Amino acid sequence: MRTVVFMKRALIAVVIVVLCIVFMGCSGRTNRFEPSVRAELNKAEKLLAAGKLPEAEKRLRRAVELTKHKTNAYFAAVNMLGGAKPRLGMAAERARADFMDALIAANDKSELDRKLSEGELKRLMIACGELRYLTGNDKKSFEIFEKAMKLWPNDAEIANYLGYFYAERNVNLERALELTQMAVAKEPRNAAFVDSLGWVYYKLGNIEKAIEYLRRSAYLQPADGTVRLHLGLAYLKSGRLEEARIELEKAKALGDVSVRIQADQELRKIKNPPAASVFSS
């Protein structure tokens, strides 16, 4: 069973807002471009409004080409696609990640008019890696975060993202443990990082260690529904049903829709256990 991803960990929306502020002034400011580029961007905007994503992508790629790969042209495309998410959903997010990938590649090849600063590149890679994960491209997400770890091997935030995502997908768990241990060592009072480490221990089957860290995370951030859910699942696994019930009730009260649904499912199992009582793995 897969739990909801920790959206509070540098929410995609927040990351993109930061990118907008840093790179574009958080608007669709196309007046900085040549008329031919503005025309392509305006056409793309109209196509997105009409729900024609593939045609809009072509216009956006053309706009980037016309500027000879200007950094701001890539960000204009990224921001425009971000605004299309309410209408086009994850399809727009996948397209946005494609433009982020293209920007990262162009930066690597020194094709941009202005090379990204270290801080810009790091925020971009985190945003792109999370978008790839959220849109179901795990392989690409892991590649981006592993590349980021090579560039910033001591960065706790990147380590936490990658370790948590590995744990969520139940892959590379020893690597996930290494990453989340490093993150917690650097920021021991970061509740999200502590939760990630506890969740990795849970996935590894070390339930007592999982409970230790998940309890600490709940202490640091008591109103977080996902932490309460994780702790409740760990208590279930250890057979501590009353403590599990308490935490799952808190998860129902504090979590988002996905957390509430999952917590309710687990509570039903406690109240009406199956013949062979097997709780979530």
Pick the closest to residue 98 from 112, 119, 78, 114 (CA basis): 78
Are the CB atoms for 20 and 79 separated by under 8 Å? Answer: yes
DSSP 3-state of 274: coil
Query: Each residue of 120-129: b (16+ CB within 10 Å) or e?
Result: bbbbbbbbbb
Q: pLDDT averaged over consecutive 10-residue blocks of the chain (281 residues)?
A: 42 45 46 88 96 97 94 94 93 96 96 94 97 96 98 98 97 98 98 98 98 98 97 97 97 95 95 64 49
One-letter amino acid for residue 65 of the chain: E
Question: How many whole angstroms from its chain centre is CA 133?
Answer: 6
CA distance 138 to 130: 9
One-letter amino acid for residue 60 of the chain: L
Are the CB atoms for 39 and 60 separated by under 8 Å? Answer: no
CA distance 257 to 94: 23
CA distance 20 to 64: 17
Which pLDDT value is given to residue 172? 98
Which pLDDT value is given to residue 29? 55
Tokens representing 229? 């859910």
Pick the closest to residue 252 from 272, 235, 234, 268 (CA basis): 268
Tokens representing 55? 């045609």
CA distance 115 to 112: 6
Which pLDDT value is given to residue 275? 61
Which pLDDT value is given to residue 30? 59
**Dihedral sign, CA of 164, 21, 143, 61?**
positive
CA terminus-to-terminus distance, the chain: 7
DSSP 3-state of 145: helix
Name the pTM for this structure: 0.86
CA distance 82 to 27: 11
Are the CB atoms for 55 and 19 separated by under 8 Å? Answer: no
